[in-house]
Amino acid sequence: MNYGQYPPPYPGPVHINFANQTQQVNYQAQPAPMIIANQQAIHNVVQPAPAPAAMIVYNQQANPNIVQPAPAPAPAPAPAPAKKVILPPRLTEVPAPMQCPFCKEDIVTQTTFVNGTLVWVICGSLGILGIWPCCLIPFFVKRCKDVRHRCPGCKNLIHVYRRM
C-alpha cells in the first residue's frame, strides 16, 4: 500500500478534536529592556550619599521614643607608607649584580661550578648503556654542573643554581 505523503492510519483510540475547547490565557506585557545609548553618561552620574540611619534611644526619665541620628562612622586610617621591595635577580650560571643579603653591600656574585645531580645521572646512564669510556665526560662539562653564587666580600653562600 502506498499512502503517498500521508502516514498509514493508526488503529489506536478515537481522536477528539480539542480545537474549540482551548482556554484563552491573558498574559501581562513584560517591560521592554532598556537600551543605553551612551555608556559614559552612566559613569559620570554622581550618586547621592545614603541618609544616615535613625537610632531610637530609650530613656527611662524622659520621653521613651526619642529619635536621634546614628553616630558618624569612624574615618578610615591613613595608608601606611609603601615599603621599598627589592627583588633579587634570577641567579643562573653567570655572575649577577645584586645586594648581598648578609652584608648589605652592592656586589657581583662569584660563581663556582660543582658536580651536582645531573652530572651523576648522566655518568650512571652512560655506564648502564655500556658507554663506560664516556662516563667521565660530564665531570668536565660546565653546562652539566651546578653553580654556587657567593658574596666576594663576606664569602657567604647566596644561592645554588641546580641543573636538576
Question: Is 40 contained in some domain?
Answer: no
Residue 98: the pLDDT is 92
Q: In this structure, which amino acid lies at residue 97?
A: P
Question: Is 115 contained in some domain?
Answer: yes
Question: Could you tell me the residue range of the domain that residue 141 belongs to?
Answer: 97-161
Residue 134, all three cell numbers: 664516556
CA distance 123 to 146: 15
Question: Is 103 contained in some domain?
Answer: yes
Question: Is 16 contained in some domain?
Answer: no
Question: Is 137 contained in some domain?
Answer: yes
Question: Is 64 contained in some domain?
Answer: no
Residue 73: the pLDDT is 74
Residue 41: the pLDDT is 47
Question: Is 135 contained in some domain?
Answer: yes
CA distance 76 to 103: 39
Report the number of distinct structural domains present in the chain. Answer: 1
Q: In this structure, which amino acid lies at residue 117?
A: T
In order along the chain (164 residues), what is the average pLDDT of each group of 10 residues? Answer: 64 58 57 54 53 50 58 74 69 92 93 96 94 91 96 94 92
pTM: 0.48
Residue 20: the pLDDT is 55
Question: Is 47 contained in some domain?
Answer: no
First to last CA, the chain: 81
Residue 164: the pLDDT is 86
